[in-house]
């Protein structure tokens, strides 16, 4: 029986780039049964809810989703899509691999996976103002909450990911020199867990500001990086910048009860419906999904066909300097797969 996967085509360019991805996976011989579900703007128009229960039920059942970009509906009464998905499925790990695909860029040899804690830290949302005299916003306070439980599971995830993917080193990024409690706990937990992997995965810890500089100077020195929520948010864009921007960046959100795979970019409303979007980031997200499902071989084949098509440079979408349509680019990837 083929594996069931929830497919959320999404908004804007979403349907065309997810269709392109499904075509490529079919051509690679991937046997998946897609359960198509709505979310985002399409869902608001159909059922007046950006995250319909039917979609959540589907993901609960399949435990795996491939998601196109979603338009965030503006207006009162709509629940936040990301919050609903993160809370329902406890998506605690945000995993963003970045690697050099386009030759001739600033760095030739970047291959880094960032593992970002996604549920705690400064993003936990415990914030308030303090009134002094007649200024109601004289002071603003935001609480950074780091738990031993949350630190253990994200750091262990990073080590297990490194082991499973044949990677060599985990770098833990922190600011424990200043944030002695929250940063200190995260670092201490990291050092404890690292001992369990001694001799199998190398470990180092680096202060976040120093790491930012080192990544720009020598990104090829880094392998898997694990860090807390806010630092991960900032580092993930820095890493994307090392390899030419967000256009080719996939992401995975891993939870205790489900995993969701998506492109990092949005719905690209300026080019939606024109058939010119670059489907690469969703295709790379689909490769992460295949690895999650244990199909490393097909993930590698699809990724190789995609990177070879881009490196060859003959059939490129407009964002990469070419003139090909989404369909033409997809056909070129499929031709490579069949070659």
**Residue 266 found at the interface with ligand NAD (CB under 6 A):** yes
> Alpha-carbon distance 243 to 109, whole Å?
9
Residue from 34, 319, 322, 327 in contact with ligand NAD (CB under 6 A): 319
- Is residue 123 among the annotated active site residues? yes
**Residue 16 found at the interface with ligand NAD (CB under 6 A):** no
Span from 142-150, 170-178, 259-267, 296-304 in contact with ligand NAD (CB under 6 A): 259-267
First to last CA, the chain: 28
Lookup: tokens for 171: 């770098």
> Alpha-carbon distance 248 to 240, whole Å?
8
Residue from 253, 267, 307, 315 in contact with ligand NAD (CB under 6 A): 267
Residue from 29, 269, 273, 313 in contact with ligand NAD (CB under 6 A): 269
The β-bridge relationship of strands 64-67 and 259-263 is parallel
**Residue 265 found at the interface with ligand NAD (CB under 6 A):** yes
**Residue 331 found at the interface with ligand NAD (CB under 6 A):** no
- Residue of minimal Cβ distance to ligand NAD: 266
**Residue 20 found at the interface with ligand NAD (CB under 6 A):** no
Q: Which is nearer to ligand NAD, 46 or 210 (CB)?
A: 46
Span from 44-52, 221-229, 230-238, 273-281 in contact with ligand NAD (CB under 6 A): 273-281
**Residue 35 found at the interface with ligand NAD (CB under 6 A):** no
Lookup: tokens for 293: 């499902």
233-252 binders of ligand NAD (CB under 6 A) = 247
- Is residue 129 among the annotated active site residues? no
Q: Which residue has the tokens 């005299």?
A: 133
Lookup: tokens for 176: 């424990």
CA dihedral 55, 56, 62, 67 (to 10 degrees): 60
User: Are the beta carbons of 193 and 163 closer than 8 angstroms?
Assistant: no
**Please, what is the Cα angle at 324 between 318 and 326, to 5 degrees?**
90
Residues binding ligand NAD: number (CB under 6 A): 19
Interacting residues of 113 by C-beta distance below 8 A, sequence separation 6+: 95, 96, 97, 98, 161, 165, 167, 223, 224, 225
| Closest to 11 in 3D by CA, of 224, 273, 247 | 273
Lookup: tokens for 202: 């190398």
Task: Tell me which DSSP letter residue 145 carries.
Answer: B
**Residue 262 found at the interface with ligand NAD (CB under 6 A):** yes
54-93 binders of ligand NAD (CB under 6 A) = 69-72
Q: Which is nearer to ligand NAD, 72 or 328 (CB)?
A: 72
Residue from 268, 287, 289, 324 in contact with ligand NAD (CB under 6 A): 268
- Is residue 214 among the annotated active site residues? no
- Is residue 49 among the annotated active site residues? no
Closest distance of CB 245 from ligand NAD, Å? 9
Give SS3 for 263: strand
**Residue 295 found at the interface with ligand NAD (CB under 6 A):** no
Applying CB under 6 A, which residues contact ligand NAD? 13, 17, 69-72, 247, 262, 265-271, 277-278, 281, 319
Catalytically annotated residues: 123, 175, 209, 233
């Amino acid at each position: 029986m083929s594996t069931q996967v929830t497919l959320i085509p999404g908004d804007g360019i979403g349907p065309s780039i997810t269709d392109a991805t499904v075509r490529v996976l079919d051509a690679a011989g991937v046997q998946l049964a897609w359960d198509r579900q709505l979310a985002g703007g399409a869902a608001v128009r159909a059922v007046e809810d950006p995250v319909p229960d039917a979609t959540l039920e589907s993901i609960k059942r399949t435990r795996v989703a491939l998601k196109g970009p979603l338009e965030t509906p503006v207006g009162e009464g709509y629940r936040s899509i990301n919050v609903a998905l993160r809370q329902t499925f406890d998506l605690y790990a945000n995993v963003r691999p970045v690697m050099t695909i386009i030759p001739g860029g600033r760095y030739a040899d970047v291959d880094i996976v960032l593992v970002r804690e996604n549920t705690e830290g400064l993003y936990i949302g415990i914030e308030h103002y303090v009134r002094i005299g007649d200024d109601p916003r004289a002071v603003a306070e935001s609480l950074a909450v780091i738990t031993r439980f949350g630190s253990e599971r994200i750091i262990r995830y990073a080590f297990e990911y490194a082991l499973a993917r044949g990677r060599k080193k985990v770098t833990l990024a922190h600011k424990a020199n200043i944030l002695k409690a929250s940063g200190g706990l995260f670092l201490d937990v990291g050092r404890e867990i690292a001992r369990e992997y001694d001799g199998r995965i190398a470990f180092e810890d680096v202060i976040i500001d120093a790491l930012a500089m080192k990544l720009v100077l020598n990104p090829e020195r880094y392998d898997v990086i694990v860090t807390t929520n806010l630092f991960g948010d900032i580092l993930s864009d820095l890493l994307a910048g090392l390899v030419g921007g967000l256009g080719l960046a996939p992401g995975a959100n891993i939870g205790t009860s489900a995993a969701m795979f998506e492109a990092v970019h949005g719905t690209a409303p300026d080019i939606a419906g024109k058939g010119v979007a670059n489907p690469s980031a969703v295709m790379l997200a689909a490769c992460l999904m295949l690895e999650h499902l244990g199909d490393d071989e097909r993930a590698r084949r699809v990724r190789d066909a995609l990177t070879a098509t881009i490196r060859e440079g003959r059939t490129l979408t407009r964002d990469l300097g070419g003139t090909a349509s989404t369909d033409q680019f997809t056909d070129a990837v499929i031709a490579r797969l069949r070659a």
